[in-house]
């Protein structure tokens, strides 16, 4: 409030100076004299009008600035909360790879950007048996470490996700078709080397079957996922812990 009053008084004094300057420069030119009631009016009118009007103006401006500041802070806080929620909704809580919806959205986005690359569909072999034999906590540990393997093999253009249960997907953006099988084998071997122990100390054997398909630029995400899924079933049919790979013109 002090600042408002200070600004109002300062504005009043400036108005007074302007009023006197006009009076002493214009009135003599018109043949008059600046004295008596005329001088009093030249002094009192600017002060009586400018100070209250300026006080009201500056007070409303201060309230408006405060309201704008509060609104800006609220918008920033809302944006921050939205971003946190968006980031929390992206990863699968257990494996820290993207959840199903986010992966599918990102894969569609990669297609729209004109990217090509390799799409892998992974299924952990005999996962139900791991849960039944060692318990769900051990099963969760297997899933968690499988997610770590996928994230470790992801570059800036790659996308890893969990479709549900023990099924994972991985898209290698801008990968050449001739590099696909080697990368699939790297991931398969990395999962086979996972060190997972049951509460009893028993070593839990983990392996994965992988179905892979190469996606050309402009690919249809759903069609390529379907092709990779079919290759996954071929990998399972051939004995599991293996890779089934085919090119794609989808």
Beta strands in 89-229 (DSSP E): 117-124, 159-164, 167-173, 208-215
Residue linked to tokens 């122990």: 197
Which residue numbers are catalytic? Answer: 166
Contacts from 90-94 at CB under 8 Å and sequence distance 24+?
92/147, 92/161, 92/162, 94/140, 94/143, 94/144, 94/147, 94/162
Would you call 51 exposed, middle or buried from its count of C-beta atoms within 10 A (0-12, 13-18, 19+)?
buried
**Tokens representing 234?**
């071929």
| Maximum CA extent, the chain | 115
C-beta neighbour count of 108 within 10 angstroms = 14
Helix (H/G/I), strand (E/B), else coil: 162:
strand
Question: Cβ neighbours of residue 114 under 8 Å, at least 6 residues apart?
Answer: 217, 218
Helix (H/G/I), strand (E/B), else coil: 49:
helix
CA distance 31 to 189: 106
């Amino acid at each position: 409030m002090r600042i408002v009053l200070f600004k109002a008084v300062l504005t009043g004094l400036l108005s007074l100076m302007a009023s006197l300057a006009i009076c002493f420069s214009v009135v003599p030119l018109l043949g008059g004299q600046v004295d008596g009631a005329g001088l009093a009016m030249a002094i009192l009118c600017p002060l009586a009008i400018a100070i209250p009007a300026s006080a009201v103006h500056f007070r409303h401006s201060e309230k408006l600035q405060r309201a704008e500041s509060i609104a800006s802070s609220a918008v920033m806080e809302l944006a921050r909360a939205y971003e946190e929620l968006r980031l929390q909704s992206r990863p699968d809580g257990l494996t820290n790879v993207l959840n199903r919806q986010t992966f599918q959205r990102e894969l569609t986005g990669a297609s729209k950007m004109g990217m090509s690359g390799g799409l892998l569909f992974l299924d952990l072999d005999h996962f139900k048996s791991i849960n039944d034999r060692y318990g769900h906590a051990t099963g969760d540990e297997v899933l968690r470490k499988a997610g770590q393997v996928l994230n470790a093999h992801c570059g800036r253009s790659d996308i890893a996700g969990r479709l549900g249960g023990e099924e994972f997907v991985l898209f290698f953006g801008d990968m050449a078709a001739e590099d696909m099988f080697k990368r699939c084998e790297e991931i398969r071997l990395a999962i086979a080397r996972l060190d997972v122990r049951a509460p009893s100390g028993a070593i839990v054997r983990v392996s994965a079957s992988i179905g892979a398909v190469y996606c050309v630029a402009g690919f249809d995400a759903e069609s390529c996922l379907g092709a990779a899924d079919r290759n996954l079933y071929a990998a399972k049919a051939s004995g599991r812990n293996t890779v089934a790979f085919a090119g794609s013109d989808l």
